[in-house]
Structure 1
Amino acid sequence: MSARPPVLPDHLQQLLQAGVQRRARAYRGRFAPSPTGALHRGNLRTALLSWLEARLAGGEWLLRLDDLDTPRNRPGAEEGILQDLRWLGLSWDGPLWRQSDRRGLYATVLSALRRQGRLYPCRCSRRLLADVSAPHGAWAVYPGFCRDRPPRWGPEQGRLPSWRLRSPPGRIRWSEHSALGLCSAAGDLDAASQVGDVVLRRADGFLAYHLATAVDELTLGISAVVRGADLWRSTAAQVAVMAELGAPPPLYAHGPLWCDPATGQRLSKREGSAGLAGLREQGLDGPGVIGLLAASVGLVPPGSRLSAADLLQQVRGGRREA
């Protein structure tokens, strides 16, 4: 993709530049769960792998809560996430970041993009989009119905539009790398036919996940993102936003999903027994859980018991011997 970066307010431009410069100096990873319920073992494994990658690189590991979608947040979920990570020995660096504390930053970016014609209002209903995007399968590509219509930003029939990014034509690319050897194929997608124009503000007024995540990766200086393979296609939308802001994306590593052996379906937060509480009920302590998580991706033999710090030393030693 190629587009002239928008003219941003000086303080925001400085934040973006500082973040990209920080990324270049040292490894800086992050774990970014949503406080919508207890972490399941797939989330816990992603946290462990992300922590391992950062510590192997001698870098920092940040913790961010993606809590913008307030109707989905659950009371007590934030504290439960922090307790689970501490119990497993996964310590983070610096303060706890919350996206809800950074709404002003995202809104500033959104306003700058809108003022310069990079956004357009979209009034397509979810039902309409579901119908027309069915042939694309699990990833819905917006067909551009509202792209060339006169921009009407106010409410109509009591409903506000969503705001979409007017993505330029071209390829959306990102690199995948993992010191642990756990990542997917590098990204190389056509912006128009495989990604589409990304929603940056929803019709209900909420700032969209892709906007906030892209801005955070840049301004917090994130150099590498480790997460599940189910988010591989979502990465394209975030990389598109970063490109619009004139900045390259971090490295990514999309690891395998943890699926229910009985159904073959990936785990979700709705399955409370799949989280740490369920593992404790099975009699597993901290070293037992770390061993289970690490063994699931072949880092240690099944049945291993070790702390997160011991796992780090073992993996680091194995890399030296290889």
Structure 2
Amino acid sequence: MSTVVLPEHLQELLAQAEQQRGRAKRGRYAPSPTGRLHLGNLRTALLSWLITRLQGGEWLLRVDDLDTPRNRPGAEEAIVADLEWLGLRWDGPVLRQSQRRGIYATVLSSLRRRGLLYPCRCSRRLLADISAPHGRSPVYPGYCLSQPVQWGVQQGRLPSWRLRLQPGELHWSEALGSPGCLEASTQVGDVVLRRSDGLFAYHLATAVDEALLGIRDVVRGLDLWHTTAPQIALIQILGAGLPDYWHVPLWIDGAGERLSKRDGGLGLPLLREQGHDAASVVGLLAASVGLVEPGARLSAEELLRASELEALRGQLASKA
């Protein structure tokens, strides 16, 4: 797969990130400030923290706040407070994607100059949810792939910009199962990197951050498995090493549905009202994937001292 030549300051950041990847494992937790964290989100945070700390690595907190229409006032503060209450301490300051827009714009320009992007003017009505950031999306059929490149406003709107993926299989490492593999043309398609409203899309920001922050382990929900392929394609185009991916089980409620922020899924406020403290919540989260016995009470640090990476991997793999 061809690579893109980045400006010198981003090449330096990429070199520093690769040095970081060689020194120590670095993980991250990347919530979006669209509501309170539910138990599934909190369990993923705990597992991400645990996997990184068991390897002696740094754990970063990155707030994915680029989709401003969906952000909710006070959500970031609530997320930070919940993580602190559970004892999940991160390294360095909180990183916000909204403060990294200049980096994404520079990468986007480099990709465009290299001929790896093309404008798309397909409407949402024509392609419903084709650029949805989470979960499995329909494969873009390539309506605009061969159209003349026109950058400006037409009929009152700018184009979105799509990554021109080459046919072939995209492979990545899965820590909890068989290696991931999707065919670029038939199973992935040309994903949006900048939306028609001017917002940088999920795939661009996530891939750029994994590459430039030197992330070695990406721990996230199993519902994001299909998003991995376009992201690793972009990371490879940037010339960075690929992370290891841990796609962990989702929290399923009594009705067999996964928890959702949109539904006001079970979170810390309700548990606190019911009398739970941090030790009982950590025990609840850990017991839900078989790391401790039901009813256990322990701090995050105590869980860390009682855990072993390969045993944790095996337990999660059995649940995935």
Q: TM-score, normalised by structure 2?
A: 0.92
Q: Which residue identity is paired with 2:302?
A: D
Query: Displaced runs of 4+ in structure 1, greater than 4 A?
Result: 317-320
The 3 A distance-change label for structure 1 pair 26 and 290 is: same
Query: C-alpha displacement at 1:162, in angstroms?
Result: 0.5
The match for 2:189 is 196
Secondary structure of the structure 1 residue equivalent to 2:100: helix
Corresponding residue for 2:269? 277
Percent of aligned positions with the same letter in both sequences? 66
Q: 1:13 to 1:317 in 2, by over 3 A?
A: closer
1:295 aligns with 2:259: no
Query: Is it true that 1:128 corresponds to 2:126 in the alignment?
Result: yes
Matched, 1:260 2:260: no
Q: Is contact 1:119-1:166 (8 Å) kept? A: yes
Indicate the larger mover: 94-103 or 166-175: 166-175
**SS across alignment from 1:159:** coil
Distance apart, 1:170 and its partner CA: 1.5
Q: Deviations over 1:161-196 (max 9, x none)?
A: 10001112221111012xxxxx34421111111101
**How many residues align structurally?**
310
In structure 2, relative to structure 1, the CA distance for the partners of 1:104 and 1:261 (3 Å cut) is: same
- Tell me the CA shift for residue 130 of structure 1: 3.3
**Offset, 1:132:** 9.6
1:22 is the counterpart of 2:15: no
**1:216 and 2:214 are equivalent in the alignment:** no
Structure 1 residue 246 displacement after superposition: 2.2
Alignment of 1:1-322 (within 5 A): 2-3=1-2, 5-130=3-128, 138-177=136-175, 183-262=176-255, 264-272=256-264, 274-316=266-308
Unaligned runs of 5+ in 2: 315-320
Q: What's the CA shift string for 1:245-296, capped at 9, x where partnerless?
A: 122320010000001112x111111233511111112221111100110000
* SS at 1:290 equivalent: helix
Instruction: Tell whether the 8 Å contact from 1:273 to 1:279 is kept in structure 2 after alignment.
Output: no
Tell me which amino acid in the other structure corresponds to 1:36. Answer: T
Q: Residues 315 and 18 from structure 1, CA distance in 2 versus in 1: closer, same or farther, beyond 3 angstroms?
A: same
**Partner of 2:282: helix, strand, or coil?**
helix
Distance of 1:129 and 1:245 partners within structure 2? 28
TM-score computed with the length of structure 1 as normaliser: 0.92
Counterpart residue identity of residue 102, structure 1: R
